[in-house]
Amino acid sequence: MSQTYVHGYHARENERLQDQAGTLVDLLHSDTAYPAGSTVLEVGCGVGAQTVTLAGRSPDARFTSVDISAHSLAEAKRRADRAGLTNVEFQLANIFELPFTAESFDHVFVCFVLEHLSRPLEALAILKNQLKVGGTITVIEGDHGSAYFHPDSAAARAAIDCLVEMQRRAGGNALIGRELYPLMIGSGFDAVRVSPRVVYVDSSRPDLVDGFTRKTFTAMVEGVRESAVVAGLIEPQNFDEGIHDLYRTTEMDGVFCYTFFKAVGEKKPG
Ligand SMILES: C[S@@+](CC[C@H](N)C(=O)[O-])C[C@H]1O[C@@H](n2cnc3c(N)ncnc32)[C@H](O)[C@@H]1O
């Protein structure tokens, strides 16, 4: 089954995901480490932005990283090779038709993937089936409704709403972060813990101003300009005003906040 995917597979998207991964590594991954000898299934690895961090931080765990895009996988493999990783195997696979036997992994990792799926609950249930009893799943997702900023701007909020709506029309959910707890419980995971990871950006943190507010969040919203205008969601000048106002938050007196949600759950017997 192929999924419509709002962010696309273009070079700019690859660059955005890499900037995002580089800037947010500690915030998202500092508490993730896999024991020596354990097997980890990463689904929707994309261009390997998270893979390189995960596999580099757990060098004695064995990763199987899958994606539905052969093009992204090729780039992920190049990145893993450049990083000198020998503990990752990449494989072309669809979450909904995984080619592995049940209960074959100790851990599962999913980042920024459920937001693009029309059936996230079903995907989680499939991933639970891939886990051995006692295994864990880690899921990281954003939530575009968590963006707030200074100076506030109705135009900026309208531009963000266009991204949320375009993702909804593509079958996804850009507000999924807030739903991780019910989704994990609903798909049968135990001991579920969700922690919000707040990115706070002001001009005293120039790396985040550039790497997150500009190159990650605003670039992502800008990416739907054409499709949102063609869909009649917004007038081009209003969208452009919103983008201008998002960039305005990167000036000396600007502030930008966004929350990611990280969920960990276990597969208990029964
Ligand atoms: C936003 S990217 C995230 C990539 C990576 N996890 C990261 O955090 O940088 C979403 C990825 O999910 C993949 N994807 C979407 N639907 C999929 C499916 N049904 N099966 C496998 N991968 C899928 C896309 O090809 C894309 O690479």
- Note whether 141 and 259 are within 8 A (CB): no
Atom of ligand 1 nearest to the CA of 140: 8
Instruction: Find the 72 Cα to ligand 1 centroid distance in Å.
Output: 9
Distance CA 161, CA 202 (A): 23
Q: What is the pLDDT of residue 11?
A: 63
The chain-wide mean pLDDT, for the chain, equals: 93
Instruction: Find the 67 Cα to ligand 1 centroid distance in Å.
Output: 6
Distance CA 237, CA 235 (A): 6
Residue 260: CB within 6 Å of ligand 1? no
Mutation probe of ligand 1 site: the residue of 13, 43, 68, 119 with most atoms within 8 A of C-beta? 68
Nearest CA to ligand 1 atom 14: 44
Residue 116: CB within 6 Å of ligand 1? yes
Q: What is the pLDDT of residue 2?
A: 31
Number of Cβ atoms within 10 Å of the Cβ of 150: 13
Beta bridge partners of 262: 140, 195
Q: What is the pLDDT of residues 78-126, one digit of tens each?
A: 999 999 999 999 999 999 999 999 999 999 999 999 999 999 999 999 9
> pTM to 2 decimals?
0.93
CA atoms within 13 A on the CB side of 38: 20
Summarize the chain as % helix, strand, coil (round to 5): 45, 25, 30
Atom of ligand 1 nearest to the CA of 49: 9
Atom of ligand 1 nearest to the CA of 2: 19
Residue 110: CB within 6 Å of ligand 1? no
Instruction: Find the 193 Cα to ligand 1 centroid distance in Å.
Output: 23
Compute, in degrees rounded to 10, the torsion defined by CA atoms 24, 181, 73, 77. Answer: 50
Which residue from 141, 136, 183 is spatially nearest to 33, judged by alpha carbons? 136
Instruction: Name the least confident of 12-16, 23-27, 162-166, 223-227.
Output: 12-16
> Given pLDDT bands bounded at 50, 70 and 90, which one contains residue 4?
very low
